[in-house]
Amino acid sequence: MNTSKLEASIGLSRKWDAREAGREVVESAIKNLNRPPNFFVLFSTIHYEKHGGFQELLNGVFDILPHNTPLIGGTVSGFSNNYGVYARGATALAVSYPHMDVAIGYGKNTKRNPKKAARQCAKMIKEGLKDSKYENKFLLNLISASELPDMPPFNRKKIIKSSLSIKLLIRFFSFSQYVLQKGAGRDDEVMRELAKLLPDYYMLGGGTLDDEKNLRNYQFFNNRVLKSSVVSLGIKTKYKLDVCTTHNMKKTDINFNITRNSKDGRIIHEIDGKPAASELQKRLNWSGDLITNENFYPTIYYFPLGFSSDGDNKNLGPRIIGAIYGESLVTVISAKSSYGSILTIDGKGLLKAIDDNLKTFHDKPNKPEFGLIASCTARLETLEEYIYQERERLLDYFSEKPFIIFYVGGESTYSPEKGLKFVNMSFNTAIFWKEVN
Amino acid sequence: MKDDPIARVLDDLLKFDDILACMVGRRGMIDSILPSDGTDSFKPEINEIWDIVRRTMDSQLSVISEFSRVGLKRLNFQLQDYDVMFYVIPDTENALVAIVRALANRGLIAVEMENARREIIRIREEEEKKLFATT
């Protein structure tokens, strides 16, 4: 047995009971390892909330996992791995390797004060890895995504037309954001701060979710269940790695300027001086009643807004319209530039984004050893059962090597060379390979 | 029913809040497979529209029996505030059927419907292998 070899393994549980699922996801992951794991990354769907709760899920995990194993994780809308694609259950990545140092961190109150949360988290990572001599640095960041208050008319409806309730809603939003921490995730702000504080790390990020009702989501830090937080896994290792974001969106010739939006830039009220929702539908040549609550996903998700995060109007990233309240378009990313364009994509294009992404790793000297992939939940919801074609591409690429695609809301990568990419409807990889001997 | 592995796949689907009823159906509802406890675990709100759903479903199952052999894989229709999703079991006249709330996240349910369909195919193949081995 080569004791210096990297071992990585995927765990899976489809049990409904939280405690049993926690045990099974660890047992299935560590059965393939000869040494205890250096870290454990856990993803779960929201269903365990009603089947024992997330504390019981983590209790089940630490019934089996050595108590000193660093663990981070969170809730996702679904996941895909070497075994299948699932919208219910739990999955985990366990890695064991002697030439690797690991630290985990967290920061609380991301919706109220994202910069402070990022600073708290970055400090823990820096402190934990200060004595490490390995030069390749990686940071996985799981951040609480947007949450709506659990009350009518929010729950489930993506389109709310009554003008009275809209004004109240938007007013209530700012109260809710700071006091209740129910509102925009502000995960883009957390990522920007982390990239500023830890600029020599390669980062992968995703916003934790429920089943897209957007009512609640959770983060895991060792045996603790957190809310409105960022949790991070920092790694320094001999293994090489890179990150890449692709989305394959095509720019249409429908361009506009945002002339009025909310203070934080996330809610668009007017486009070219006209009410935003009506103007958007007019530009798309859609009748006013074409988008409904029932067909929201298969219509609007294929036409996200394109925005520039770096001032380059030729390089537009997708920004999904998450809801339409009256004439206001609610998005989760704060845009700096007022220029925008409608982007579009079809199912084939969504799959090609994977090929485009994996191509960027083809010139690496060794095959992948393991991978973590943050993919937008909108990709899962629009591809539906065709999502299996996404997994088949990954199976081809990774062969027997472990990988997890976790479906999140608001996904990102950062590298010192390419900078921060924080968009929607994208495919984001962090892939590790052995350095040249 | 309790020992039928396909009924257990249906039991699992019914645990989703948004799946109100499910079965493996066939035209005329002949040889349909229900969850382990029959229709007892169907969500109560389905009772109000069950007759109309059942009739509509049956006419769609006739379409499936006619077109499954030429590659029909999936049918969906919306009835009042509900969606009825049919996933055809290949090389049969049967379909996995689920009735879900219209505002449910169909994308996520579609993934688990596909997983259930694959599991049913696997169970049937195993049963056929066993049958073949004993004859």
Mean pLDDT (whole number) for B13-41: 89
User: What order do you get walking across the sheet with B74-79 strand by strand?
Assistant: B19-25, B95-101, B82-88, B74-79
What is the model's pLDDT at position B48? 82
Partner A contacted by B108 (CB < 8 A): yes
Q: How far apart are CA B36 and CA B33, in angstroms?
A: 9
Q: How far apart are CA B123 and CA B4, in angstroms?
A: 10
Query: Would you tell me how many other CB atoms lie within 10 Å of the CB of residue B48?
Result: 10
| Residue A76 CA neighbour count, 13 Å, CB half | 34
Burial class (CB in 10 A: 0-12, 13-18, 19+), A68: exposed
Please give the mean pLDDT across all residues of chain B. Answer: 89
Partner B contacted by A84 (CB < 8 A): yes
What is the model's pLDDT at position A302? 82
What is the model's pLDDT at position A151? 64
- Per the structure block, which two tokens stand in for A412? 């990102």
What is the model's pLDDT at position A183? 79
Nearest to A380 among B15, B78, B107 (CB): B107
Q: Predicted confidence band at B53 (pLDDT cuts at 50, 70, 90)?
A: confident
Task: State the distance between the two ends of chain B, measured CA to CA, in whole angstroms.
Answer: 25
Our measurement of the distance from residue A312's CA atom to the centroid of its chain's CA atoms, rounded to an integer in Å, reads 24
What is the model's pLDDT at position A436? 67
Q: How far apart are CA A268 and CA A277, in angstroms?
A: 9
Q: Do A392 and A203 contact (CB within 8 A), yes or no?
A: no
Decide if pLDDT at B1 tops 60: no
Q: Which domains does chain B carry?
A: 5-134 (3.30.450.30)
Decide if pLDDT at B24 tops 80: yes
- pLDDT tens digits for B112-132? 999 999 999 999 999 888 888
What is the model's pLDDT at position A155? 62
Decide if pLDDT at B30 tops 80: no
Decide if pLDDT at B52 tops 90: no
Nearest to B105 among A85, A211, A385 (CB): A211
Interface test with B, best of A15, A385, A387, A405 (most B CBs within 10 A): A385
Closest CA to A212 of A267, A146, A259, A307: A146
Angle A192-A212-A308 from CA coordinates, rounded to 5°: 35
Q: How far apart are CA B25 and CA A11, in angstroms?
A: 34
The strand pairing partners of A430, in sequence order, are A243, A372
- Phi–psi pair at A231, nearest 5 degrees: -125, 140
- CB neighbour burial string for B9-24, b if at least 16 within 10 angstroms, e if fewer: bbbbbbebebbbbbbb
Decide if pLDDT at B47 tops 70: yes
- Counting every residue written for chain B, the total comes to 135
Nearest to B108 among A156, A212, A294 (CB): A212
Partner A contacted by B113 (CB < 8 A): yes
Give me the torsion for CA of A67, A69, A74, A75, rounded to 10°: -60
- Per the structure block, which two tokens stand in for A313? 């109007």
pTM: 0.93
Give me the residues of chain A with pLDDT under 50, please.
Answer: none
